[in-house]
A and B are shown apart, each in its own frame.
Chain A
Amino acid sequence: MRGGPRVLLTIWAAKLAALALRVTGRAGTHVPGRIARRLHPGIIGAIRHPARVVVVTGTNGKTTVSNLLAEALQGEGMRVASNRSGSNLAAGVAMTLIDAVTWTGRSRADVAVLEMDERSAKLILPGLVPDILVCTNLTRDSIKRNAHPDYIAWVISSALPASTTLVLNADDLIASSIGSDANPRTHFAVDRLPTDGDTPHGAAVDAAICPVCDAPLVWDYWRFNHIGRAHCPNGDFRSPTAAYRAQQVDGPNRRVVLDLDGDARPATLINPNIVNVYNEVAVAAVLDRLGIARERLVSAFDRLQPPTTRFQEETVGGVELVRLLTKGLVGVACSRAFEYLASFSGRKAVVLNIDEVSERTTDVENTAWTYDADYDYLATSDVQQIVVGESAATTRRCGSRSRACRRSASSRWRRSSPRPTRSTSRARRRCSTCTACTTRSSPAPRCRRACASG
C-alpha cells in the first residue's frame, strides 16, 4: 500500500473514531477526517485512491452535480466513493477516501466523486490529483469568505495539478478560465434561450471586458451575472466553444437535446431551472469523458432527480407556494431567486426571510451583501406584497436545542472567524440558541439580544 505504517495507523484511527461517533448517533465524517489530517496532514495524497477520481467544485450546483454523478455511476454498477453525506472540506474528503479503503488500506471503490469547497482547493487538489475536475460556475459568494469570483478562480488554479482534465462551463467566463495551458479541458454550455438578452445588467457582472485589450465585451447572449457567451469587438478574445451543449430546452415538457460532442440525443430534462440545466449537461459531459455508453448516459436522466432541499413547490387552496432557499449572505443568489419568482405569472406576494445565525454567532456582521442583489426583479405590478423579516427557521433551530442544531452553529463559528475568549464564546453560542425563543429556561448571563428571559 501507499504511505506505510503511518497511513495505516491513520486509517485505523479515523475508522475507529467514525465507528464510535456512529454508535452515539452522530455523523462520522468531519471529526474523523480532522483526526486523520491531524495524524497525517498528507493523508489525502498518501492513501490509495480509487482508479478514477472526479472532483466537483464551483459556487453553485456542486452538490447536485456530484450527487447526480454518483447516482449515475452507481447505476452503471460501479462502486462509488462519495462525500454526499459528509463535508466538502479537506476533512470530509479525507474521510471519504478512508471510508473507501479496507482496514488494510486496499481500495474498495472503482471511482471517487468528491464535492470540493472551492476555498479548500489547496488542501485537497495537490494530494488528490484528480483525473477530472468539474467547475460548475464561479459567481459571487460570501464577501467575507470568498471575496470575489476571480479570487476563487485563482485559488483553484494555483492548486490544480497539470494532469487533471477540466470540465468547465463555457458560458461562465471566469470558471472557463481556470487552470493552465497544460490542463486538458472540455466545455459544456446551454444554447441561447428565448429569455436571454444581449446586454448585461444588474449589480454583479464580473466579466465585462476583454482580458486582453480591456474593450467592453460584446455579448452573443447574456443570461445573468457574467453568464452567457461573449467576444471582444477587436477579435482578441471569445468564449470557448463547448463540446457538450444543452439545446432545445423544453421546460414544460421536461425535454432537452444533449449534444455530446456532435452527437445530439434527446433526453429527459431533470429540472427546468436554468441552474439545473447546466448541472445536467455538466453531468453528461463527465459521464461521456468517463466512457459511459451514450445510450445509457442519456437514459440515466430518466431516473435521476436533483436534490430538492433548496426548492419546494406546492398548491394550497388554489395558491401556489414556492419556497426557495438561497445561500446565506449572498446577494447574487437572492437575485436568481427573485428572477425565478418574477417568471411566475399572476399576482404574487413575496416573503423574504433572512437567516442571520452565522452573523449573530460570529459577531462580525457585514450587510454590504444586500446591495449586491437585484431587487428590480420584484419591482413589478404583479408583486403586490413584500414581507421582510427574520427566518422562522432560525427560531425553530434555536428553539429545538437538538444536537444537530448546536453542531451546525458550532461549525459555522469555526468556519467564519477566529474563536474569541472562552467565556464570551460560551455566552455567545448560548445566545444564538436562545434568541427569540421563549421556552428556554437558562439564558446566557451576557445574552445581548431580545431573549424574553434574558
Chain B
Amino acid sequence: MSLTVEMLFPEIANLHGDNANIDYLAQCRPDARVIRTGLTDPPAFAAGPVDLVYLGPLTEKGQLKAIAHLRPHRDRIVELIETGTVFLFTHNALEVLGARIRNDEMGYDEPGVGVFELEATLAMFGRYSGKVMGTVPEVGPEHPVLGYKSQFSMVTAPESLPGFLTAERGIGRNRATAVEGVRRNNFFGTSLLGPILVDNPHLTRALLRILDPGTEPVLAHERLALAAYDQRLADFRDPRRWHPFERVE
C-alpha cells in the first residue's frame, strides 16, 4: 500500500530541524504522499483517512494558532487515535493537544485542544536542555530511544496517561518523573528533538511496520543510520556524558 502522511501547519511548525522526521520517512518510503496542510487549509484527516498525522515544534504564538485551528477537529482527532491512526507530535506540539498551556511571562493561560489531560507550564527564562534515553515497547531495552530536550515547558499529566517512553536517563514530562510524552494506541507524542526518526532507526523501522504491516520496512541510508545510532548509544551509555541535572529529582 502507499502511505499518506499529513504534515500539519509546516509554515509555523518547523523549528529545530524536526521536520527532517518527515523528510526521512519520505526517503524510507519514496511512494509516500506527503500532504502539507497550511493553517488556512482544512486538515486532510478531517475529510478522510490518512496514515500518519505529524505536527512539529512551534513558537509560543504558533502553539496558540495551532490550538485555534485544531480545536474544531477535537472529536475527529480522538476518533482517529482510538481507531489506530498513527500520530507523531514532537517537541511542544504535544502540548497543543493538552488541557491548557500556562505562560505567566507572556501573560496567557489558554485551554488546549483537550484531547489529553496534560498541562504545560512555560518558564521563558528557564529553558531546559538535556538528553533523554529510554525504552519504547516496540524496540525494547536493547535499542533505547535517544533524544534531546530543549524547551521552556514542563508538562504534568495524571499517572494513568501512558508515556511515550520511560527515561532510563534524563527526565520525563517534567523534572519529577521519568515518564516522557504520551502514547495512546498509535499516537506518539514526545518532547524529544533529534529528529527522533533520524536518530533512532530502530524506532523508525517499528513505525514503518505499524504504518504498513504488509511491507517489510526499508530504512533509507540504513548502514549510516545504524552506525550513527550505535555511536550515539555508546555516548549516551557513558555515565560521564550525563550532567548532574539531567536526572529525575
Contacts and interface: CB of A to CB of B under 8 A. Distances in A.
Contacts of B238: 448
A4 interface: no
Interface in A14-39: none
B148 A366 contact: yes
A329 to B, nearest CB: 11
Contacts of B12: 208-209
Interface stretch (B15-23, B25-33, B81-89): B15-23
B16 A421 contact: no
Contacts of B106: 154
A204 to B, nearest CB: 7
A403 interface: no
A369 interface: yes
A83 B65 CA distance: 40
A274 interface: no
B244 A420 contact: yes
Contacts of B59: 148, 150-151
A151 B11 contact: no
B61 interface: yes
B229 to A, nearest CB: 12
A143 B14 contact: no
Residue among A150, A362, A424 having the largest count of chain B Cβ atoms under 10 Å: A150
Chain B's interface size range is: 35 or more
A368 B194 contact: yes
B241 interface: yes
Interface stretch (B108-116, B123-131, B178-186): B123-131
B240 A448 contact: yes
A215 B195 contact: no
A368 B16 contact: yes
B150 interface: yes
A204 B14 contact: yes
A92 interface: no
Interface string A366-388: 11111110000000000000000
A252 interface: no
B223 interface: no
A428 B240 CA distance: 9
B110 to A, nearest CB: 16
A162 B195 CA distance: 41
A205 interface: yes
B243 A203 contact: no
A144 B240 contact: no
Residue among B18, B148, B199, B246 having the largest count of chain A Cβ atoms under 10 Å: B148
B243 A216 contact: no
Contacts of A209: 11-12, 39
A367 B240 contact: no
A51 interface: no
A216 B14 contact: no
Nearest to B39: A214
Given A151-B124, A203-B19, A417-B243, A366 B14 contact: no
Given A143-B16, A421-B244, A150 B38 contact: no
Interface in A135-153: 143-145, 147-148, 150-151
Nearest to A119: B125
A154 B107 CA distance: 12
A158 B124 CA distance: 12
Contact of A144 (B11, B124, B150, B242): B150
A7 B23 CA distance: 57
A365 interface: yes
Contact of A203 (B14, B130, B131, B199): B14
A148 B59 CA distance: 7
A260 B198 CA distance: 49
Contacts of B105: 158
A2 interface: no
B127 A363 contact: no
A19 B59 CA distance: 45
Contact of A366 (B38, B193, B240): B193
B193 A143 contact: yes
A361 to B, nearest CB: 11
Given A368-B150, A370-B17, A363 B241 contact: yes
A425 B77 CA distance: 47
Given A154-B106, A209-B12, A363-B242, A371 B20 contact: yes
B38 A216 contact: yes
Residue among B12, B17, B61, B199 having the largest count of chain A Cβ atoms under 10 Å: B17
Contact of B129 (A364, A372, A428, A448): A364
Contacts of B11: 205, 208-209, 216
A144 B16 contact: no
Q: Nearest 10 pairs between A and B by C-beta?
A: A371-B17, A371-B20, A208-B11, A366-B148, A448-B240, A144-B129, A372-B17, A368-B193, A150-B59, A214-B39
6 contacts: A143-B193, A158-B105, A203-B14, A203-B19, A366-B131, A367-B194
Given A151-B59, A368-B17, 6 more contacts: A143-B150, A203-B20, A216-B38, A362-B243, A366-B193, A368-B195
